[in-house]
Every structure is written in C-alpha cells, then in structure tokens.
C-alpha cells in the first residue's frame, strides 16, 4: 500500500472478525517496531504478544478494551534500559520511545490489511501484577490487532473531527 494510503486508511478499529492473524504478518509488524528510532538507540521496548485466550484473559477488566481482537501487543518499557535526560531531573523518554515503536507497528498492520486501536485505558501497576512483570517492566500501551469486522467503521465525532493546520501549526 502507498504510504499516503496507509495514513488515510488507518482508524481505530473497535470490532474484529474471529480470524487469526497470520504468523508472517505478525512478524512483519513486530519487525516494523524493532526498526523504530529510540532515544540514544536504547531500544527499551519489550513487547508481550498475547494471542491465546489465557493470556488475553489476564488483562482482566481491560480485556473488553481489546474489542475481541485475536492478537494484543502489550508494549512495555524496560526502565533499566530507558534513556534518562540528565539536564531535566528524572525525565525519561521511555513513553516516547515505546509510542514510536507502537506507531510503526500500527501503520505496518494497516499496510498489511489489518486493523488496530491504541489503548491506554489501564492502570499499569495492575497490569504489572496481572502478568507478573518485574518492577522495571512498565506497560505503556496495548495494541489489539486483527481483521476488522464487515460492519466496522470509525467512531463518529472522533476520527472524522480533526483541527485544521491553521489551528495547530504556528510558524515563527
């Protein structure tokens, strides 16, 4: 797919077909994340692939936020590998790094004919507990992936409402 078409086609898919994601596609998606830029090339991301009922069930109350997608990527940061900026005390780029990784994967999924939705409606400490993650592994976002159902469409009032460039770009 042309890059412009990927950008235009993407929307948050909240209804999925009961159809597996092919292994080759999943690997391509994960590899698109692997190639993402990260601060000082620290690559702090750790990506947990949830693709069976048992692992998706461990999301507990947050499972409903994954809308029945057959694969959920739990994008985490390894805080032991994250980049901290010494000129701003305590500031780390880990969320930025993982968000760029997640964006790469999201766009590759669309490129491969799949749908995704970015999820941050969770308490990261609860997920750490539920997946027995060590304290240095912090969940940043969830990315459900799958084939959108035939009646899937974008959420009105969200996807179709964008500010104009004039409202958000300031030339100085």
Compute the least distance from the CB of residue 23 to ligand FMN, in Å. 26
Task: Tell me if 91 contacts ligand FMN by CB under 6 A.
Answer: no
Name the phi and psi angles at 115, rounded to 5: -110, 160
Task: Tell me if 120 contacts ligand FMN by CB under 6 A.
Answer: yes
- Which range binds ligand FMN by CB under 6 A, 26-34, 42-50, 115-123, 129-137? 115-123
Asked if residue 56 lies in contact with residue 127, where contact means CB atoms within 8 angstroms, the answer is no
Task: Tell me if 12 contacts ligand FMN by CB under 6 A.
Answer: yes
- Which range binds ligand FMN by CB under 6 A, 22-30, 45-53, 114-122, 132-140? 114-122
Residues 6+ apart with CB under 8 A from 119: 62, 65, 66, 141, 142, 143, 144
Task: Tell me if 53 contacts ligand FMN by CB under 6 A.
Answer: no
Task: Tell me if 159 contacts ligand FMN by CB under 6 A.
Answer: yes
Task: Tell me if 154 contacts ligand FMN by CB under 6 A.
Answer: yes
Output the DSSP codes for 131-151: TT--TTEEEEEEEEEEPBPTT
Residue ranges of alpha helices (H) inside the chain are 3-9, 23-34, 53-57, 94-111, 124-130, 165-168
Compute the least distance from the CB of residue 136 to ligand FMN, in Å. 22
Compute the least distance from the CB of residue 102 to ligand FMN, in Å. 9
Task: Tell me if 34 contacts ligand FMN by CB under 6 A.
Answer: no
- Comparing CB distances to ligand FMN, the nearer of 52 and 153 is 153
Asked if residue 128 lies in contact with residue 135, where contact means CB atoms within 8 angstroms, the answer is yes
- Which range binds ligand FMN by CB under 6 A, 21-29, 70-78, 87-95, 150-158? 150-158
Task: Tell me if 15 contacts ligand FMN by CB under 6 A.
Answer: no
- What is the CA angle 79-81-87, rounded to 5? 85
């Amino acid at each position: 797919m042309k890059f412009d078409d990927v950008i235009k086609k993407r929307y948050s898919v909240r209804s999925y077909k009961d159809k597996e994601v092919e292994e080759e596609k999943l690997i391509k998606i994960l590899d698109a994340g692997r190639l993402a830029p990260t601060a000082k090339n620290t690559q702090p991301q750790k990506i947990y692939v949830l693709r069976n009922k048992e692992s998706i069930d461990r999301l507990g109350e947050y499972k409903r936020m994954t809308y029945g997608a057959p694969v959920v990527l739990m994008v985490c940061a390894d805080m032991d590998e994250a980049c901290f900026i010494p000129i701003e005390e305590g500031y780390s780029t880990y969320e930025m790094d993982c968000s760029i990784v997640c964006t790469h994967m999201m766009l590759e999924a669309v490129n491969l004919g799949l749908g995704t939705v970015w999820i941050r409606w969770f308490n990261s400490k609860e997920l750490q507990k539920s997946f027995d993650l060590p304290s240095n592994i912090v969940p940043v976002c969830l990315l459900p992936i799958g084939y959108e159902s035939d009646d899937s469409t974008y959420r009105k009032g969200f996807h179709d409402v964008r500010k104009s460039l004039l409202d958000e770009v300031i030339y100085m």
